[in-house]
Chain A
């Protein structure tokens, strides 16, 4: 009756093993490491860079644990800090040369998990520690959506102007009013013509006619779907831009995430200088379009036989080697660039399509008309240093929207270039609405306190259970330990971020999980008191306690889900652990403790008594005083 089939034991053993494997990486602690990432948007980290890093380390006479390329950065782990510092200097020298003011690569010190390679191969990683546990800066930024929408309407107004002109539809002015595009007409027939055209070609806007007589209007307003699309795009672009800027801080593991519709969370572990962080996040890289100088003097300068002509500057092209002479006069800046997207030209070759606003379009039209056959350089300035993103040849007069094609651009290159062009600007301005700084010592303190609470609470509960319920108490305590193991394993598998509220939730979950075992043990005692044979009492106890355990977990889960749904930030962390803990506790305190009881007692044919502490019956006067006698005989 109290025997589990073999598969159930096997299942629990597997769960125990999986739990152990995934909890293990958290116990190894962290080892010093060096992280190499790109300091410039045009520089990519690839396997070639990794090999250079490896070489530099070996030449410095240091043996790393490993050198990995992982998601845009290279990480090398070392045994001790001496090796780490030595390797850092060697890598910096090998990659950046003597350039220290404007390095191409960021070489930062970091910490990596010390867990062995076989665990990493099993995808068992330690939990990520939240900022309150490791120190750092947290920003919550609000994206100003109104200006993103205004920008969209602005660009639409100029598109509409071009479209109407192309079809020679005579209007009496196109303007932007709020987030709407308003077109004036004098003639009903022309308005209908325009409306038909716009309805077919512009899907983002809904067009409604109004007015009478000669004061006819056609108002285009963004459709709800288009509003969402514009907002999403704005947040995404801002996140991309933020990533580029944050990389520059040399932060090992920055977190940049969208939160809700219009917010971005930026978390920079290890950074303590909020002022500098804000400075970098708030800065705009600027994009400039300038003409390339191809005069004889410039060619001489390129060949190295003459000085750089007056009014020009020397830059290097994207490859970082070929020099290029660019005029100082700026044609258009990034402020006039509304969008840049990868696209395909008429020959189905990858290209990049740029969209300028009205002012930019006017300027580029004039300039391009006069400079057909010459090259237009697009430069990205960061920290006062410019880089040529691309320098295409002008093939014809350019309008508010034009494409850069040719070369043997791949689709990847096209989208990279588009990204670089967009990286210069934020799609919409952002404002910091929440900011938190946690010192590293406070973080360490928080970890220690959190762990101390869980440990001592666990010990106290375990001791009490063992004293009060004897053998059954031991089973309960072991099951509680199994619960903790499972919970940590699940959190590690999900790569959840552990914060102090999360640790508090672990403690609380353990406190609540032991309830299930108290219920079971009390029920078994009650059955024994009622005169059932031990084996039957165990069986009935578990069976009947189940309904109550389910009840208690359902009500707790309701509260947990409410927190999960409406909570944000630290409370969400609490809620996730709380909800997961409720689920793991059902498995551990019912199934696992039962398995232990079954293993211990289940096989015995003539079980006379079970050690579950005193089973006191009203009316019995002789109370056992000797603890050894507390293994009371039932029946």
Chain B
């Protein structure tokens, strides 16, 4: 099999202006949504309480919302999570209230709404593990179960937000230094702009759709940043190689050639990584959902930005043959030698 049967170099750079305008517009849109709508941070960042309950029958969201609203926690969110029986309730931090009792209070209240009592009973799981559980009992029936609860204090949230910013900063600076060391500053700048543009676009998606931005999403963004920068590295490598090999071509043509000769592997590598991510999206359940979504957007825009944005920015910044090929002609080797300075 061979998907890519490209006969001659595709003139990407002829359309560089249009492509860059497109990505600029997407970027502006992303920033616009980030500013106007803002990110929907998970409670890991904001602090607060999340309670997940599972009803025996399909849940009546409105009833649940009404029950919790009456408790006076301020702005709450009640949504289905995974199946129609699972309900997720998000509560903000209520000043003065004891944070660590909120989850139990909510559960007790929901239980009361089902005309049940909260009892503690000892259970032995099928594996033989002994488990103490607070259950809501109506006679022998159990109308709802608490599957998960999470309480985060305000100080932890602020700290996490700070650490997240530090991690992003560390990654960006680390990658820039590496690129600057590996090539020269124009490429470093081009590479990092192209990939930060991906990051902003992922964030833009999360802002527009108001998807929950959690720590896992942040991890996905950083992972994909490190991953797709590499694509730019490959193209820059080819550009350098082409500058050595084809002395007659101008910068445009060189870049076109570099992109054309790497596009097949760019798409196949990203495609195979995406297969894995797709599997997470399909089988990973609600916990991994947004993690996989962030990776998917990151990988798709990663291809786009490495191919169309990074090289174009390097071109606008004015890369010249002299920037990359500093060695004299003696070192450049025979232009006809297919092995000269070859890197994938």
A residues with a Cβ closer than 8 A to B are 30, 32-33, 81, 84-85, 108-111, 132, 135, 140, 142, 250, 252, 270-276, 278, 432-442, 445-446, 449-450, 452-454, 456-458, 460-461, 464-465, 467-468, 500-501, 504, 507-508, 510-512, 514-515, 518-519, 522-523, 526, 530, 540, 544-545, 547-548, 551-552, 554-563, 565-571, 574-575, 578, 613-616, 618, 630
Is there contact, CB below 8 Å, between A512 and B273?
yes
Chain B residues with Cβ under 8 A from A556's Cβ? 223, 226-227, 230
Chain A residues with Cβ under 8 A from B219's Cβ? 501, 563, 567, 571, 574-575
Bound-complex Cα distance A306 to B155 (A): 60
Q: What distance in Å separates the Cβ of A504 from its nearest Cβ neighbour in chain B? A: 5
Is there contact, CB below 8 Å, between A500 and B175?
no
Is there contact, CB below 8 Å, between B170 and A514?
no
Chain B residues with Cβ under 8 A from A515's Cβ? 269, 272-273
Chain A residues with Cβ under 8 A from B320's Cβ? none
Known A-B contacts A571-B215, A618-B7; the reply to A508 vs B100 at CB < 8 A is no
Chain A residues with Cβ under 8 A from B127's Cβ? 30, 32, 111
Bound-complex Cα distance A547 to B131 (A): 53
Bound-complex Cα distance A569 to B150 (A): 13
Is there contact, CB below 8 Å, between A273 and B288?
no
Is there contact, CB below 8 Å, between A566 and B163?
yes
Chain A residues with Cβ under 8 A from B274's Cβ? 511
B106-131 residues at the A interface, CB under 8 angstroms: 120, 124-125, 127-131
Chain A residues with Cβ under 8 A from B7's Cβ? 618
Is there contact, CB below 8 Å, between A616 and B125?
no
B1-54 residues at the A interface, CB under 8 angstroms: 1-2, 5-8, 52
Q: What distance in Å separates the Cβ of B292 from its nearest Cβ neighbour in chain A? A: 8
Most buried by B among A436, A437, A519: A437
Known A-B contacts A433-B155, A500-B287; the reply to A530 vs B338 at CB < 8 A is yes
Q: What distance in Å separates the Cβ of A478 from its nearest Cβ neighbour in chain B? A: 15
Is there contact, CB below 8 Å, between A518 and B269?
yes
Is there contact, CB below 8 Å, between A457 and B278?
yes
Q: What distance in Å separates the Cβ of A502 from its nearest Cβ neighbour in chain B? A: 11
A434 contact from B133, B156, B278, Cβ within 8 A: B156
Q: What distance in Å separates the Cβ of B91 from its nearest Cβ neighbour in chain A? A: 13
Is there contact, CB below 8 Å, between B100 and A278?
yes
Known A-B contacts A433-B156, A557-B226; the reply to A456 vs B148 at CB < 8 A is no
Place the interface of chain B in its size category: 35 or more
B143 is an interface residue with CB less than 8 A from chain A:
no
Is there contact, CB below 8 Å, between A562 and B150?
no
B175 contact from A457, A558, A569, Cβ within 8 A: A558
Q: Would you mind naming 29 contact pairs between A and B with Cβ atoms under 8 Å apart?
A: A81-B128, A85-B128, A111-B127, A252-B129, A272-B134, A273-B120, A276-B132, A432-B99, A434-B151, A434-B153, A435-B149, A436-B148, A453-B279, A457-B279, A458-B276, A504-B292, A511-B272, A512-B273, A514-B273, A515-B273, A518-B272, A526-B344, A552-B230, A556-B226, A562-B174, A562-B222, A563-B223, A571-B215, A571-B218
Chain A residues with Cβ under 8 A from B150's Cβ? 434-437
B233 is an interface residue with CB less than 8 A from chain A:
yes
Chain A residues with Cβ under 8 A from B125's Cβ? 440
Is there contact, CB below 8 Å, between A508 and B342?
no
B182 is an interface residue with CB less than 8 A from chain A:
yes
Chain A residues with Cβ under 8 A from B277's Cβ? 457, 507-508, 511
Q: Which residue of A lies closest to B3 (CB)?
A: A468
Contact with A along B215-247 (1 / 0, CB 8 A): 110110011011101100110010000000000
Q: What distance in Å separates the Cβ of B118 from its nearest Cβ neighbour in chain A? A: 9
B179-219 residues at the A interface, CB under 8 angstroms: 182, 215-216, 218-219
Is there contact, CB below 8 Å, between B222 and A453?
no
Bound-complex Cα distance A272 to B107 (A): 13
